[in-house]
């Protein structure tokens, strides 16, 4: 009798999980269809001429580029070299040295011939004290702020206070930007007549690429499977995920590695908050502000402008990153929990926030439970073999097949990887995701949830090699 009850509970739970997996696959499938539709519509056009017009147009809005840097000595030089040569009419670069304990500030002073300056800073957002301001002798639009350590959000807020222009871009200190990326990411803002208040570009993995003097001269792939899987993850997240969400104004994440914001709206929203996931939390807060003021403003994702960034090559650093990301997701959801299933916030409250809660946050919990039930069901005998097999096949579709489709979408639209051997490697590795990489990241995200429960804080140490081959 007890065994029959156990089997009944096991069977019910298993079918419930299968129903959840089918729901997730339908959601991701729908986002993939939207992505394919919008990306092909955009890239059927020859867009070189419009960008040339923007480069010469008086309507192109000036941008302040903010680069928070904490112990970024290894890659900061290459990142800045990529910025001083971008194709954009008017911009300033503001490096915020957030109390680095390495030689980041010394390297900046030496290589860019920085001289101390005195300028009044309008403190619209509260930050840690600024110790010194510098300006480059060789690049007059390059500034460096040296301040006390306060975290990435604090550094960005300090940069916003110092900036002069109506739009700012946040960039990671270990990233390299393509020369025309700013024209592309700013195009929808310029053409929207201020209806678009934030725009995000694509992030690609720089490991394996050849980068000289701050410019990607040859696109390549790392030889390490764990890095290749991160390339595939980024393709799926940006091309297959964010395009679909952006097309319906449901986007809740503009990557902190490359995003442009209206300074007026960010200050109105209170600036960056001191959370682990400060980029997502700001975007959600902007959406709330828009809905509460009943305005028709949008936050969009533009797939073509690309920023190349360094990915963790060791499992211990990748684990720390994924745990931190999941904690950041929880902090954003918890901070704005009143929006979830709240019709006042329309599609954000009824679709976007529930999606991030039920699929992105609780997804690893459901998946782990599915793995456990699949193993138990297999050993319970023939009656559950079909259930275990079905769950396994759905997991493969959810992981490997969607990842492989993202690789094909990359080649179909973006063509960033010119070598056939690279595409074949990406495609074949993508098909293996469900067998090793996805279970691993599920466990790490579960650890992130445990960190939330145990109230653990901090970013964790991340090793940097630098993306520039100087």
Could you write out the DSSP letters of every residue in 235-251?
A: HIIIIIIIHHHHHTT--
126: how many CB neighbours lie within 10 A of its CB? 12
Looking at the DSSP bridge assignments, the partners of residue 69 are 97
Q: What is the token pair recorded at 40?
A: 């092909």
Which residues have C-beta within 8 Å of that of residue 155, sequence separation ≥ 6?
68, 69, 70, 96, 98, 127, 147
Instruction: Tell me the percentage of the chain whose pLDDT exceeds 70.
Output: 89
Do residues 234 and 175 lie in contact, with contact meaning Cβ atoms separated by under 8 Å?
no
In a domain, 108, yes or no: yes
pLDDT of residue 383: 58
Least confident of 161-170, 250-259, 286-295, 334-343: 250-259
Does residue 161 belong to any structural domain of this protein? yes
Q: What CA–CA distance (Å, rounded) separates 292 from 294?
A: 5
Distance CA 94, CA 106 (A): 16
Question: What confidence tens digit (pLDDT) does each residue in 156-173 have?
Answer: 999 999 999 999 999 887
- pLDDT tens readout for residues 404-436: 888 877 776 666 787 888 888 988 998 899 889
Residue 302 lies in a domain: yes
- pLDDT at residue number 32: 85
Q: What is the DSSP string of 101-141?
A: SSSHHHHHHHHTTEEEE------SS--SPEEEEEEESS-TT
pLDDT at 1: 59
Name the DSSP class of 303.
E
Q: What is the pLDDT of residues 106-137, one digit of tens each?
A: 999 999 999 999 988 988 999 999 999 999 99
In the beta sheet, which residues pair with residue 65?
Answer: 93, 169
Burial tier of 213 (Cβ tally within 10 Å: 0-12, 13-18, 19+) = middle
Dihedral, 408, 398, 310, 156 alpha carbons, nearest 10: 110
C-alpha angle 446-403-431 in degrees, rounded to nearest 5: 95
Nearest-angstrom CA–CA distance, 160 and 232: 33
DSSP 171-218: E-TTEEE-TTHHHHHHHHHHHTTT-EEEEEEEEEE-TT-EEETTEEEE
- pLDDT confidence tier of residue 465, bands split at 50, 70 and 90: low
Tokens of 253: 């994440």
Asked if residue 33 belongs to a domain, the reply is no
- The answer to whether residue 157 is domain-embedded is yes
pLDDT band at residue 306 under the 50/70/90 scheme: confident
Sign of CA dihedral 454, 313, 216, 203: negative
Domain assignment present for 322: no
Evaluate whether residue 379 is within a structural domain.
no
Is position 462 within any domain?
no
CATH of the domain at 57: 3.90.550.10
Domain count, the chain: 1
Beta-carbon-side half-sphere exposure of residue 12 (alpha carbons within 13 Å): 6
Longest dimension (CA), the chain: 83
Give the tens place of pLDDT for each residue, 16-58: 888 998 999 899 888 888 888 777 666 554 455 566 666 666 6
Write the DSSP assignment of 373-413 as a string of letters: HHHHHHHT-GGGHHHHHHHHHHHHIIIIIHHHHHHHHIIII
Residue 62: give the domain boundaries: 46-313
CB crowding 239-257: b at 16 or more within 10 Å, else e: bbbbbbbbbebbbbbbbbb
Q: Judging by beta carbons within 10 Å of its beta carbon (0-12, 13-18, 19+), is residue 146 exposed, middle or buried?
A: buried
What is the C-alpha separation between 66 and 173, in angstroms, rounded?
Answer: 9
Nearest to 392 by CA among 11, 18, 13, 7: 18
Task: Provide φ and ψ at 309, rounded to 5°.
Answer: -135, 160
Q: pLDDT tens, 354-411?
A: 999 999 999 999 989 888 887 877 776 655 677 777 878 888 887 888 888 888 777 7
For residue 239, what are the CA distances in angstroms to 273, 307, 377, 407? 28, 14, 36, 9
β-pair type (210-212, 215-218): antiparallel
């Amino acid at each position: 009798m007890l065994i029959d009850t156990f089997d009944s509970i096991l069977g019910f739970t298993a079918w419930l999980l299968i129903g959840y997996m089918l729901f997730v696959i339908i959601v991701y499938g729908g986002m993939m269809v939207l992505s394919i539709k919008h990306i092909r519509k955009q890239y059927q056009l020859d867009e070189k001429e419009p960008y040339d017009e923007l480069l010469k147009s008086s309507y192109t809005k000036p941008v302040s580029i903010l680069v928070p840097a904490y112990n970024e000595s290894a890659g900061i030089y290459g990142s800045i070299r990529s910025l001083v040569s971008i194709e954009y009419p008017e911009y300033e670069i503001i490096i915020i040295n957030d109390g680095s304990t390495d030689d980041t500030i010394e390297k900046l002073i030496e290589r860019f011939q920085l001289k101390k300056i005195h300028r009044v800073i309008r403190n619209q957002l509260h930050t840690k004290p600024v110790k010194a301001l510098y300006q480059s002798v060789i690049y007059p639009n390059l500034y460096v702020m040296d301040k006390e350590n306060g975290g990435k959000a604090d550094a960005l807020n300090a940069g916003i206070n110092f900036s002069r222009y109506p739009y700012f871009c946040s960039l990671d200190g270990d990233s390299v930007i393509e020369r025309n990326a700013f024209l592309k990411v700013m195009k929808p803002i310029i053409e929207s007549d201020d209806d678009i208040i934030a725009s995000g570009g694509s992030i690609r993995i720089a490991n394996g690429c050849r980068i000289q003097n701050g410019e990607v001269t040859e696109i390549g792939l790392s030889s390490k499977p764990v890095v290749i899987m991160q390339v595939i993850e980024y393709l799926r997240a940006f091309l297959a995920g964010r395009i679909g969400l952006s097309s319906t104004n449901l986007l809740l994440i503009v990557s902190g590695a490359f995003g442009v914001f209206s300074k007026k709206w960010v200050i109105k929203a209170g600036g960056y908050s001191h959370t682990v996931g400060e980029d997502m939390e700001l975007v959600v807060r902007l959406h709330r502000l828009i809905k509460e003021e009943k305005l028709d403003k949008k936050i969009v994702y533009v797939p073509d402008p690309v920023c190349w960034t360094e990915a963790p090559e060791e499992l211990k650093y990748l684990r720390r990153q994924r745990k931190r990301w999941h904690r950041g997701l929880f902090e954003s959801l918890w901070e704005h929990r009143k929006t979830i299933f709240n019709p006042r916030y329309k599609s954000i409250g009824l679709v976007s926030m529930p999606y991030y809660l039920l699929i992105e946050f609780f997804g690893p919990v459901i998946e782990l439970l599915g793995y456990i039930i699949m193993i138990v069901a297999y050993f319970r005998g023939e009656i559950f073999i079909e259930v275990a097999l079905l769950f396994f096949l759905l997991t493969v579709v959810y992981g490997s097949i969607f990842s492989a489709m993202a690789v094909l979408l990359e080649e179909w639209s973006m063509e960033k990887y010119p070598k056939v051997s690279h595409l074949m490697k990406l495609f074949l590795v993508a098909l293996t995701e469900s067998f090793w990489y996805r279970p691993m990241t599920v466990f790490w995200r579960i650890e992130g949830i445990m960190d939330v429960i145990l109230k653990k804080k901090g970013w964790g140490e991340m090793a940097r090699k630098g993306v520039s081959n100087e």
